[in-house]
Structure 1
Amino acid sequence: MRIGLTGGIGSGKSTVAAMLSDLGATLIDTDAISRAITLPRGPAIPAIQAAFGANVLDAAGGLDRARMRDIVFAQADAKRRLEAILHPLIGIETERQATAAAGTTLVFDVPLLVESKRWRRIVDRVLVVDASEATQLTRVMARSGWAPDAVRAVIAQQAPRRERRAAADAVVFNDGLSLEALAGEVRSLWTHWIGHSAP
């Protein structure tokens, strides 16, 4: 089975991804792939430099993610231009990893699964990790030290919660749950979808 996992920033999606991996799924993390291809000498760097200039690169020659984030928020078409570079390369590496893990339950961790539209055709199930905006703000500010307005700007760039929930085959509402309770919900869903008891 191919499971598409998504959720807004600060929803706890990465925690759920790790739990699914512990239960036996092969995790394919598109955010990790995005970071890897934008490291120094990464395959996306030449095109990014050509499109945005050398000022979006850090001292080592990799993508300065904070600088790029500022540009995306400031320029209306910058996000589209960046995604046009990254998404095909992410797609190639995603499929390579999926082919290598054939025969296992695959979990594709895709922050922009709903926004990209194409993922619904690629996966068998969509799992959304949801949380209130207040919880998202609290979590991201605590882990990243961002100002509230910076977190809200990221949330505004993502699909609305109702749109993500509407695209889901299952929703885990991760608001006020302990890690143990969250793990219980994930284990129950795994058993329901995969058809055997979780280890």
Structure 2
Amino acid sequence: MFRRRRREQAKHVAGETVAAPTREYGPWDADEPHPDHDRIDLGGLRLPHNAAFDVRLASVGDQHVGVVVLWEESSLQLQALAAPKSGGLWEEIKTKIKSSAKTLEERDGVFGTELAGQVTVEGATRPARYIGIDGPRWFLLAVVNGRAAVDDQVAEAFLDFVKDIVVVRGDEPMAREESIPLRRPSDPADEVDEEPINPFRRGPEITETR
């Protein structure tokens, strides 16, 4: 769990005018104008602070592959992937998810089309929402499990969190759908727990952090 606020590194020098955001909300690309306030810097993702959330890095071996947020009998799982310049990765991933979970249905959400319904994992059925957001050369997958998947009031806090995420794609070549690398906060004062699991297997078999 992240236990201390840390100021996001400023991208301007004193006296330089910071451009205003051109959109109402994100997720933001690191290279576009976005609100400058405290965020947790994990390298490929910069996350807003919410003192009520238990935020953890999900890892496989020594590689950090995503983020898990726990709150109110719910989880929000996040993974940023490299995407082609042409975009449209959500349409492809959405089709894959639907083919393996026919109980999920498309519906309109704040970020566009999402998938919602019941999924079965390890013999247990639970509600889930799959939200995909196409960015410039990146794709962000957000999966909501538990109470927040059916309770709009609880889900709103998760959605507000996603709206203020900054994705740092970088300029290095990456394979299609390769995870954008994450890291522990560089400031030793920012303590962070890790989950030595991979909760991001594509499709409804996605597992919760326990």
Q: Could you state the TM-score of these two structures normalised by the residue count of structure 1?
A: 0.25
Which structure has more helix as a fraction of its residues? 1
Which structure has more strand as a fraction of its residues? 2
Determine which structure has greater relative contact order: mean sequence separation of CA pairs < 8 Å that are 6+ residues apart, divided by chain length.
1
